[in-house]
Amino acid sequence: MMRVVFMGTPDFALFSLKALVEAGENVVGVVTQPDKPQGRGYALTPPPVKVYAAERGIPVFQLATLKNGAFDEQLRALAPDVIVVAAYGKILPPSVLHMPRFGCVNVHGSLLPRYRGAAPIQRAMLDGCAETGVTTMQMDEGLDTGDMLLTAVVPIGENDNFETVHDRLGAAGAQLLIKTLRGLADGTVKPQKQPAGATYAAKIEKADCALDFSASARAVHDRIRALSPMPLTFTHTPDGRLLKVWESRVGTRRADGKTPGTVVALDGAVTVVCGEGTVDLIGLLPEGKGRMNAVDYINGRRLSVGDVLR
């Protein structure tokens, strides 16, 4: 059995850590990000990985940096055979990458070499992909450029959102990780160079959240679901008030010749004209209010047919 040091922070990482523990792997330490203020009261909140590890008596290390050998001495004392990395959020220096016998194995939420980088799940959904996947890879000093170990394909349904795809990928990645580690240990898994065709999944910025109704209804729907349940896409009502959207469907109404952004129906959904087709907005977050379904929003008389969202 290998000695495993695990590096990860958010819920995506928790899938893999749980799998390691439940499979009986020898997790000798967990490295995660420092606690961060969250919520209206900005209370310091520990990462999910820390909470899980602490409950099971696994030593937890929260470091501001790994640079300049900040963790090297402690890591040597842990004597890992392999370091598993899943959504850790920090760059690993060469001294860490090359310390374990089996190196550092990353669980990445895409089918490499596509969607290297910070936001692979959201970017695949924004691009309208019908499937994505998980890759385990041997980490090197580049950004998701290391040799591939194993992959698993995960479908993206027409009305999936980021949360549902994230959880499906997290579960698939956890299973793939166990298979990868056992294959490395017995020599049946061999690193393979990534093929050509790399793309980069840049982190999500505020500009990515703005809805552009001149795009096709499919592209608008893909944007809404890729960024739900957070950070959420947004538009503005005619009076300039912010309107966020957390759920949608591609509409069936025809609205030829109307300006994109025009509301053409308020019948169980806010139906809006797009550059091609219409989109039904069915989950809304009005400025200063909580989340609500479209029916409640419509009953509040906040919009009229003919209004234009911008």
145, 51: one domain: yes
The reply to whether 229 falls in a domain is yes
Choose the weakest-confidence range: 19-33, 34-48, 192-206, 239-253.
Answer: 34-48
Based on the domain organization, do 164 and 30 belong to the same domain? yes
Does any domain span residue 310?
Answer: no
- Alpha helices of 203-261 — where are they, by DSSP H? 217-226
Q: What percent of the chain has pLDDT over 70?
A: 100
On whether the CB atoms of residues 25 and 17 are closer than 8 A, the answer is: no
User: Total domain count for the chain?
Assistant: 2
Give the pLDDT band (50/70/90) at residue 302: confident
pLDDT class for 42, splitting at 50, 70, 90? confident
Find how far residue 187's CA is from the centre of its chain.
Answer: 31
One domain for residues 51 and 172:
yes
Residues 13 and 103 in one domain: yes
State yes or no: pLDDT of 40 exceeds 80: no
What was the pLDDT predicted at 43? 85
* Mean pLDDT in residue range 161-169: 98
| pLDDT for residue 64 is more than 90 | no
pLDDT per position as a tens digit, 121-131? 999 999 999 99
Q: Which residues constitute the domain of residue 277? A: 206-299
Angstrom distance (rounded) from CA 244 to CA 74: 46
Q: At which of 160, 182, 201 does a domain end? A: 201
CATH number of the structural domain spanning residue 273? 3.10.25.10
- One domain, residues 43 and 98: yes
> How large is the average pLDDT for residues 140-164?
97
- Three-state DSSP at 222 gives helix
The verdict on residue 260 lying in a domain is yes
Q: Confirm whether 306 is domain-assigned.
A: no
Mean pLDDT of 240-255: 95
pLDDT for the residue numbered 127: 98
Q: What is the pTM of this model?
A: 0.95
